[in-house]
Copies of this chain bind each other. A is one copy, B any other.
């Protein structure tokens, strides 16, 4: 992909004519579409299956996209074409200096390197191996290997957590400032995003992303912990009814909740419900940790602090909150 901005005195037809020969040299056949008010689209087709689109907009903005199938020989052909057009535009004084070529986008191969961030930004990861890729009745589970982030867990297309992301676990457990010894801790979720952590995920996670979970997932029950694989809302409601209280509630459920039952009529309502139930099972001097969330309309007044950290494999800043019940006056 290449794009550039034409100088004020240059018209689209001149540019089209000036670049044609580069494609014709490759034996590509040209077909030009002209709009009355929207400029030109020239499609160049090669016998080997590759093709190029040269789109010239009336205000002098030009985009060139090339597509080929084979990463080897045709990839070179694509590069050489893009470079020739880029050189031509830089030399010719027709462009106003804004010539930009983007790295090629590789699609359809065994390794998919494009995993957009939570905010939908396009990023290419340095993935070099697909370690695991299976569907369960609930979702697709992938473990990918990257030089930078080591093993990355991807659930239904969302980057979940990687071996590089100790910073995430630290932030959501209070950044090393809490003393958990002898305390009752309730963890909702576990870096799982909006997906269902089934046995398949646990099996692969403990095998590959071990640095983040140690040997905790070897058994779902230990001397001082128990892992429940079920919906946390009925569990929270039962605890609240029984009057069971915790020193810490860590909500690591999801950044973008997906409503699954009629009870939660909006994602915000879901978040509020979890937070409200969490407050009900939190001791008066307890602490609640989570990522970004809404704090109004709870059964009791609360106070909070926040911390912003960079999670390596997310390639993004994330906000983590600490919430506590307001001291009774």
Residues of B within 8 A of A310 (CB): 148, 164, 310, 312
In A152-205, the 8 Å CB interface with B consists of 157, 164
Please tell me which stretch of A85-93, A112-120, A235-243 contacts chain B, meaning at least 4 of its Cβ atoms lie within 8 angstroms of it.
A112-120
Using CB atoms, name the residue of chain B closest to A47: B35
Check B124–A103 contact: CB distance below 8 A.
Answer: no
Given known A35-B49, A69-B57, contact A1–B105 (CB-CB < 8 A): yes
Residues of B within 8 A of A264 (CB): none
Using CB atoms, name the residue of chain B closest to A57: B69
Check A116–B135 contact: CB distance below 8 A.
Answer: no
Number of copies: 2
Check B5–A33 contact: CB distance below 8 A.
Answer: no
Complex alpha-carbon distance, A107 and B1, angstroms: 10
Check A103–B116 contact: CB distance below 8 A.
Answer: yes
Sorting the interface of chain A by its residue count into under 10, 10 to 19, 20 to 34 or 35 or more gives 35 or more
Given known A61-B108, A63-B107, A315-B315, contact A38–B69 (CB-CB < 8 A): yes
Residues of B within 8 A of A35 (CB): 47, 49
The yes or no answer to A224 lying at the interface (CB within 8 A) is no
The yes or no answer to A51 lying at the interface (CB within 8 A) is yes
Check B124–A123 contact: CB distance below 8 A.
Answer: yes
The yes or no answer to A13 lying at the interface (CB within 8 A) is no
The yes or no answer to A7 lying at the interface (CB within 8 A) is no
A216 to chain B, nearest CB (A): 26
Complex alpha-carbon distance, A37 and B47, angstroms: 9
Complex alpha-carbon distance, A171 and B135, angstroms: 42
What 6 pairs between A and B have smallest CB-CB spacing?
A38-B49, A121-B124, A122-B124, A103-B122, A61-B108, A123-B123
Report A's interface with B, CB cutoff 8 A: 1, 3, 5, 31, 33, 35, 37-39, 41, 43, 45, 47-49, 51, 53, 55, 57, 61, 63, 65, 67, 69, 97, 100, 102-103, 105, 107-108, 112-114, 116, 119-126, 135, 140, 147-148, 157, 164, 310, 312, 315-317
